[in-house]
Amino acid sequence: MAKQHSDSSRDNTIQNSEPAPGFLQRLSDTAGGMLVGLIAFTLSFYLLFTNEGRAVQTSLSLDEGLSVVVPIGNIQRVDPINEGKLLHLAGPLQTSKPLFDPNYGVSMHCVQLKRQVEMYQWVEHEESKEYEEGGEKKTETRYTYNTEWKSEVVSSRHFDREIAHRNPSAMAVESYTAVAADVQVGSYYLSKGLINKIDAFKQLSLSQFKKPQHADVITEGNYFYHSADPKNPEVGDLRISFWYAGVSMGGPTFGSIDTVSIIARQRGGELVSYKTKSGDQLELLYLGSHTAEEMFHAEHQSNIMKTWALRAAGWLMMFVGVSLMTKIIHTLVDWFPVVRDLVNLGLKLFAVCVATSLSLLTIASGWLFYRPLIALMLSAAAIGIILLARSRVPAKKYQ
């Protein structure tokens, strides 16, 4: 690994200088925040509701797939009796031709072969610090420059110190990924969708290949370098690595041949996606040998994790939306420190209660059509939170 060089400079001038915002300006800023909050609040309902429909649809599709899947033991023969059925099979990958990079002489029997090109470039890092001085709000900005290997061209045109940190505008060699045209498991050809699922890339060891016939190419470790000295690279130098996915039968390989487990529909001699009654497309591929039950169980777990992640995102959007819409109350009492802190705490508790209650109600409405009992339980929990919050509010006394 080449060393990284760094160069840093500090901008001592004041970047921004302005008086502290007044009450009317803060009210104006709060109004803009209220609009953003309203948008986030509205989108949270859409996210939560559609997420529940997606989760239920996916769950029903997986249950349907498990109930109709047909295990195939003999993968060396395509049986016409299984035409249109959802099949489960496992076996080693096979490709008819190796993937080849003529520029660097790399050849391998695999499903995907990726050439990754990186260029040694200047990278700018910006760090800003705000502070108040003499009643004015000021910003101090510091720029730091490091040289790093990057797979994308970093434009230096807008650097604060462009003259001393210029990058080339393009790479002389481009990255690309070669994909095998025909991939088989036994006698079955895989669809493009299944082939694209074979994407667990591993870096290829270049010690098994001859040095490319280029005077400016140096092999160092698992990289080809376009550099005079790979251990002390200059800006603009290139290094190339190769990555492979899905080692296949058919010729010389580097490593063990990969076995895959597939659940897909038979269409002639090809495995394609299966459309469920719920409207989803089932087309599963896992590395290794797995039973149909194990694959569907893993998909159910993935669906559950995705559902809870989107639920948390929806709740957070709703909480932020409510907080922004009620921030104007905090701005009105900002001049009174004790009252301000109490109001701020109360607004946060209010936002938590509202976001939680409305999120549960939205989730319940999403489940209403598919799971009425669970929907009623969630609705009861949401109403319970509201009643509990109201019970904490002291009753008004007549004077």
In angstroms, the CA 45 to CA 53 distance is 13
The alpha carbon of 92 is separated from its chain's Cα centroid by a whole number of angstroms, namely 29
Per-residue pLDDT at 392: 57
Q: Are residues 110 and 259 in the same domain?
A: yes
Q: Of the candidates 290, 313, 339, which is a domain's last residue?
A: 290
Element (H or E) spanning 227, and its range?
A: none
Q: Nearest-CA neighbor of 278 among 62, 46, 68?
A: 62
In angstroms, the CA 343 to CA 345 distance is 5
Element (H or E) spanning 299, and its range?
A: helix 292-325
Per-residue pLDDT at 3: 45
Counting the structural domains of the chain, the total is 2
Domain that holds residue 384: 19-60+302-391
Q: Are residues 269 and 167 in the same domain?
A: yes
65 located within any domain: no
Q: Are residues 55 and 178 in the same domain?
A: no
In angstroms, the CA 148 to CA 5 distance is 8
Residue 224 CB-density burial (10 A; 0-12 exposed, 13-18 middle, 19+ buried): buried
Amino acid at 13: T
Q: How far is CA 159 from CA 113, 126, 140, 330, in A?
A: 35, 10, 17, 40
Taking the CA atoms of 340, 346, 350 and 352 in sequence, report the sign of the dihedral they define: positive
Per-residue pLDDT at 351: 80
Amino acid at 56: V
Per-residue pLDDT at 114: 95
Q: Are residues 164 and 284 in the same domain?
A: yes
Q: E strands, 134-169, where?
A: 136-150
Q: Are residues 33 and 82 in the same domain?
A: no
Per-residue pLDDT at 359: 87
- Looking at the DSSP bridge assignments, the partners of residue 19 are 136
Q: Nearest-CA neighbor of 72 among 50, 54, 89?
A: 89
Q: Are residues 181 and 82 in the same domain?
A: yes
Per-residue pLDDT at 382: 66
In angstroms, the CA 245 to CA 247 distance is 6
In angstroms, the CA 320 to CA 325 distance is 9
Q: Nearest-CA neighbor of 239 among 267, 219, 268?
A: 219
- Looking at the DSSP bridge assignments, the partners of residue 266 are 271
In angstroms, the CA 87 to CA 92 distance is 16
What are residue 140's phi and psi, to 5 degrees? -110, 130
Per-residue pLDDT at 299: 96
What digits encode the pLDDT tens for the residues 311-367? 999 999 998 888 888 776 655 555 555 555 666 677 778 788 888 888 888 887 777
Q: Are residues 111 and 256 in the same domain?
A: yes
- Looking at the DSSP bridge assignments, the partners of residue 229 are none
66 located within any domain: no
399 located within any domain: no
In angstroms, the CA 383 to CA 389 distance is 10
Q: Of the candidates 290, 319, 349, which is a domain's last residue?
A: 290
Per-residue pLDDT at 23: 42
In angstroms, the CA 41 to CA 373 distance is 27
165 located within any domain: yes
Element (H or E) spanning 278, and its range?
A: none
What are residue 118's phi and psi, to 5 degrees? -125, 145
Size of the chain, expressed as the number of residues it contains: 399
In angstroms, the CA 10 to CA 26 distance is 32
197 located within any domain: yes
273 located within any domain: yes
Other C-beta atoms lying within 10 Å of the C-beta of residue 246: 26
Q: Are residues 122 and 203 in the same domain?
A: yes
Reading the chain (399 residues) residue by residue, the pLDDT tens digits are 444 444 544 343 334 444 444 444 544 556 566 788 888 889 999 999 989 889 988 999 999 999 999 999 889 999 999 999 999 999 999 998 999 988 888 888 999 999 999 999 999 988 888 776 666 667 778 888 999 999 999 998 888 888 888 899 999 999 999 999 999 999 999 999 999 999 999 999 887 776 665 667 888 888 999 998 889 999 999 999 999 999 998 766 667 899 999 999 999 999 999 999 988 999 999 999 999 999 999 999 999 999 999 999 999 999 888 888 877 665 555 555 555 566 667 777 878 888 888 888 888 777 776 666 666 776 677 677 666 666 655 554 433
In angstroms, the CA 312 to CA 306 distance is 10
Where would I find the H helices in 241-291?
Answer: none
What digits encode the pLDDT tens for the residues 17-39? 444 444 445 445 565 667 888 88
Q: Are residues 307 and 278 in the same domain?
A: no
Element (H or E) spanning 386, and its range?
A: helix 372-391
In angstroms, the CA 221 to CA 362 distance is 56
Kind of pairing, strands 188-190 and 183-185? Answer: antiparallel
Q: Are residues 56 and 80 in the same domain?
A: no
Q: Do 92 and 257 touch, CB atoms closer than 8 A?
A: yes
Q: Of the candidates 290, 315, 346, which is a domain's last residue?
A: 290
Q: Are residues 267 and 137 in the same domain?
A: yes
In angstroms, the CA 183 to CA 97 distance is 10
Per-residue pLDDT at 143: 87
Amino acid at 382: A
119 located within any domain: yes
297 located within any domain: no
Q: Are residues 49 and 78 in the same domain?
A: no
User: 288: which 2 tokens?
Assistant: 């290794």
